[in-house]
Amino acid sequence: MQYAELRNALTSSGAQVTISADTLTSNIATLLTTAYGGQPIVIGNVSAGSGDGENNTVVLVGTASFLGVLSLPVELRAWVDVAGSAQLLLRYTLRGPNPTATDWRFSRSFSDLPKTIHGASGSPEPATSPLDELELSDTAYVVSSSARRDPRTNVELEIGINFVSQLRLTGVWAVLQSVFGMPTTTTLYGTIRIPKTTDLTSPLGLSQFAWDSLSAPGIRLRADLRAGISVGSLSLSDVNLRLYCPTSKDWLTKNATYLPLLGLSGSLRIPSADVTLQVTMFRDVDSGAIVLASAVSGVSLGSLSVLSDLAGTDQLLNQLPEQLKSVASALSSLELREVALSLVPGSSSAPPTLEWASATIGLSNQTWQVVENHFAVSGLACRFDIVSPLASPSVSVKVTGVMQVMGVPIAVAASSWNGFLLTVELQTPQTIPIRQLMDTYAPSLPLQSDLSLSTLAVAIAPSRWYQFNLGLAQAGQPWTIDVGFEKLTIRDVVLGFTYPVGGSLSGFYAGTIAFGSTASLDIRYTIPGEFSVHGMFAEVNFRTLLSKASLPRSP
């Protein structure tokens, strides 16, 4: 297409310009599908705008309806690029430099917006969306047929619907100004993608944020604050505001991982470890604290002591259980997996306080032998939580990993607050033969039936003792006791035992015994001890009971 053809195609008819799929080049037809739902662009009250004809550019101004708002002032700029394709830039003015309370709000375009945004909303749910509470001015939808810079604000524009506005940091946003010392007004910009019936939106992973998924529908905004602050030896830089909100509650219901979020992104420098991490920050609405977190990949540390700027101490190694100290100290590098910390805003001009910090270290190729010859934990990770790192550090540790019980991998966790007592619990039913389990962990415990296991809970005190509590499956072979005239079936069986290292086993059986179809009662078998049945019968027919108990007479 040539410039003359472009101008001819955009010549108004009756003070109106219409751009349909076949009016210009194919890329504009694609833009109509993306931004206008396949409908034509219609501009009324058309006249030439400032700069019309300069640099082979068509500039038109008029009014148009867009995203549910009627008769918006609009400016159209059109030109032909070097490849001969028409390019369009349309600016729909929503709010001027001095808006009033009746001017445009987000809910004018999106009537079903979620009313709760994590990081901006507390509970109960607010009456309106936090997006409607933004103090905006010089606000516009900008539709672009190419990725380029906005000629008015110089922010980045993407193909499709863009949003550009001035934002005054007030309300929940004012904490950003108090913590990071940034200006009260900034440019808020981003993209808006309207959901389509043909969309296939993949769920987000645990460490993913909706604003990073550029192809997903929703309102995706940011402000390049480029703010920074130092806390102790730590430094935060390139702090930018991030916001994501689905365009409707209905879409959110169908895509539950795309939660509305208000947060910050930035870079965290830990000088003692010589690392810089990309972090995401959220404001805790209840406490006002700003919580930072970073999922780390590909970062190695020479030792735990290099985290001293974060932890306030170089003695993290001494917080590990004895068996793990030697494991961690022997490694030439440790895998840094996650860092988190909490900043509490100071009063007036005082700097924020580092309330707590945490670091998670991976020891994935190492093994923790918890009890000799029995329990070994692999896939290890150690999370260090430090309260008041820059004042009087108080450190706790949580160790996680995977332990095999009769060939079944089970997630385990142990914390310093209870002496690294490991707790294990099956989250889903597993097939574990109980006789084989007993032969391995409690060989002196008598068991008369080869039963199946339905539930399992294990507690292990490293190098001291271990304890099992088991529930036996109802399906399969029952546990029966032959008393001569009848086989008694024991149901709802639970079993517990404790084995101290170097000591003797103790434990119990418990369950419900059925005396034929006549009666049932509870039983308990304490180990060591004799097997006995105790309980009280409910109302029964004693004639039937005695007939069951009578032995056959000799002929």
Q: Structural domain boundaries of the chain? A: 3-199+206-292, 293-425, 440-549
Q: Which two tokens stand for residue 502?
A: 């170097």
Among 336, 231, 365, smallest CA distance to 274 is for 336
What is the torsional sign of CA 387, 391, 392, 395?
positive
Q: How far is CA 231 from CA 178, 312, 416, in A?
A: 14, 12, 28
* pLDDT given at position 551: 47
Residue holding tokens 């209905």?
250
> Cα torsion at 24, 25, 30, 31 (round to 10°)?
-50
DSSP state of 118: B
* pLDDT given at position 80: 94
Q: Which two tokens stand for residue 380?
A: 């290890």
- Using CA atoms, how far apart are residues 216 and 205, in angstroms rounded to an integer? 14
DSSP 55-78: GG-EEEEEEEEETTEEEEEEEEEE
* pLDDT given at position 331: 86
- The answer to whether the beta carbons of residues 197 and 231 sit under 8 Å apart is no
CA 282 to chain centroid: 12
Contacts of 102 (CB under 8 A, 6+ apart): none
- What count of Cα atoms within 13 Å lies in the side-chain half-sphere of residue 548? 16
Amino acid at 478: P
- The answer to whether the beta carbons of residues 156 and 223 sit under 8 Å apart is no
Contacts of 506 (CB under 8 A, 6+ apart): 497, 498, 527, 528
- The answer to whether the beta carbons of residues 160 and 144 sit under 8 Å apart is yes
The CB density around residue 427, as the number of other CB atoms within 10 Å, is: 7
DSSP 271-285: GGGTEEEEEEEEE-T
Residues paired with residue 405 on neighbouring β-strands, in sequence order:
408
For 183-328, strand residue ranges (E) read: 185-193, 218-231, 234-245, 261-270, 275-283, 290-301
Q: Which two tokens stand for residue 139?
A: 């606000």
The verdict on whether omega for the bond into residue 528 sits within 30 degrees of 0, i.e. cis, is yes
Ranges under pLDDT 70 in the chain: 119-125, 172-177, 347-349, 426-434, 444-453, 473-488, 514-520, 529-555
Can you give the pTM of this predicted structure? 0.77
What length is written for the chain? 555
- Measure CA of the first residue to CA of the last residue in the chain; give whole Å: 116
Among 113, 306, 253, 272, smallest CA distance to 192 is for 113
The CB density around residue 5, as the number of other CB atoms within 10 Å, is: 14
Among 95, 100, 92, smallest CA distance to 137 is for 95
- Using CA atoms, how far apart are residues 453 and 470, in angstroms rounded to an integer? 7
- Using CA atoms, how far apart are residues 527 and 500, in angstroms rounded to an integer? 14
Q: What is the largest CA-CA distance in the chain?
A: 125
Phi then psi dihedrals of residue 496, to 5 deg: -135, 145
Among 443, 458, 360, 442, smallest CA distance to 403 is for 458
Phi then psi dihedrals of residue 169, to 5 deg: -80, 100
Q: Which two tokens stand for residue 251?
A: 């879409």
Contacts of 280 (CB under 8 A, 6+ apart): 209, 242, 263, 264, 265, 292, 293, 294
